[in-house]
């Protein structure tokens, strides 16, 4: 009879710290660069298996996904990339649109030989994922969307500041009060014993050039994915999509703006409701305490959810009426 040797606890390797994971990923990942339709696209690929493409949120770069990609690397080939809007800090105002980012996604998908692929997107990346599903259903099989948005409109002052920001030099971290605001809005989402990951997120986002951040913010202005959602509803009603509500948490901080519904599209839950109304096969999950930076706050829980969904295993889902208010 075959037996499995039991390794004593004292002889098992200690789990890597998140800093060691970042360093190991830098060593093991394959870096690449392609020329997209709107500019250069830089990326990295790690792992083996079916391709899983990560789509960046509004701020920060693809390194924010590293911890989740590391946890999934033995089962999926994780493709992380920075689209051309993150790498082309021109001085003139470029309005841009989500369609530009979808073009970049197509360029990346075209380099992946074994389609169909799966997408994971959060915030702005979730909007790109929905548009990508609608325009490239033959190559994109499914999507996991964390905090999806379908529509948005900047206020007058937000639009004005974004347009001015397109001309300004410097980086986000140089704005007065930016770091304090990030700590105030996000510290309670991160595990109390170790907030060093929050420091990493702040540093990564602080490095983003003001021009780039402003140009990406303008992509939310007058965002409307109604047509794309109609296309999905008419042709792909059985499409497998997982929608994750990141805002639910047991003890919200009433003073933190990160606890409130975002201005774009009226919040996550209206978008989730609209998607499930058009796509009955869409499933909903809540990650209590995950927050908008779930890839850093709770990478293990998020990776487990992604793995379970993509492998077709039994998944505990939530009804739209049961999402926290």
Q: Write out pLDDT tens, residues 257-282.
A: 443 334 333 457 888 999 998 888 89
What's the token pair of residue 267?
């919040």
Average pLDDT over residues 146-158: 86
What's the token pair of residue 109?
């998908």
* Cβ 137 vs Cβ 118: under 8 Å: no
- pLDDT value at 5 more than 50: no
Contacts of 88 (CB under 8 A, 6+ apart): 38, 39, 40
- pLDDT value at 305 more than 50: yes
pLDDT at position 254, please? Answer: 42
Query: Minimal CA–CA distance to 143: which of 158, 132, 155?
Result: 132
Helices (H), the chain: 18-28, 66-72, 84-87, 98-109, 124-135, 156-165, 178-186, 196-206, 210-218, 226-235, 268-278, 294-297, 299-310
Q: Find out whether the peptide bond into 116 is cis, omega within 30 degrees of 0.
A: yes
β-pairing verdict for 117-122 and 51-55: parallel
d(Cα 291, Cα 125) in Å, to the nearest integer? 15
- pLDDT value at 91 more than 80: no
Residue ranges and CATH numbers for the domains of the chain are 31-318 (3.40.50.1820)
9 SS3 class: helix
What's the token pair of residue 173?
């971290």
């Amino acid at each position: 009879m075959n037996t499995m040797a039991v390794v004593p606890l004292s002889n098992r390797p200690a789990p890597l710290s998140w800093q060691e994971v970042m360093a190991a990923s830098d060593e093991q990942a394959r870096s690449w660069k392609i020329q997209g339709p709107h500019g250069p696209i830089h990326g990295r690929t790690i792992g083996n298996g079916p391709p899983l493409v990560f789509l960046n949120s509004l701020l920060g770069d693809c390194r924010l996904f590293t911890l989740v990609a590391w946890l999934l690397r033995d089962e999926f080939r994780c493709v992380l990339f920075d689209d051309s809007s993150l790498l082309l800090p021109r001085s003139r105002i470029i309005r841009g649109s989500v369609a530009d980012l979808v073009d970049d996604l197509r360029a990346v998908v075209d380099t992946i030989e074994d389609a169909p692929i799966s997408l994971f997107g959060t915030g702005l990346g979730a909007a790109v994922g929905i548009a990508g599903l609608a325009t490239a259903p033959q190559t994109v099989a499914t999507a996991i969307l964390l905090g999806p948005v379908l529509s948005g409109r900047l206020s007058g002052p937000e639009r004005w500041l974004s347009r001015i920001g397109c001309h300004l030099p410097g980086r986000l971290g140089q704005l007065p009060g930016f770091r304090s605001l990030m700590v105030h809005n996000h510290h309670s989402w991160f595990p109390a014993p170790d907030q060093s990951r929050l420091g990493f997120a702040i540093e990564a986002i602080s490095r983003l050039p003001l021009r780039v951040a402003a140009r990406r913010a303008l992509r939310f202005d007058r965002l409307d994915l109604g047509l794309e959602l109609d296309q999905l509803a008419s042709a792909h009603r059985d499409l497998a999509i997982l929608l994750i509500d990141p805002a639910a948490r047991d003890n919200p901080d009433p003073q933190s703006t990160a606890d409130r519904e975002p201005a774009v599209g009226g919040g996550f839950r209206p978008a989730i409701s609209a998607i499930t109304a058009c796509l009955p096969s869409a499933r909903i999950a809540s990650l209590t305490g995950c927050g908008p930076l779930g890839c850093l706050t709770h990478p293990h829980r998020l990776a487990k959810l992604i793995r379970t969904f993509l492998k077709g295993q039994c998944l505990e889902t939530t009804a739209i009426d049961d999402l926290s208010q």
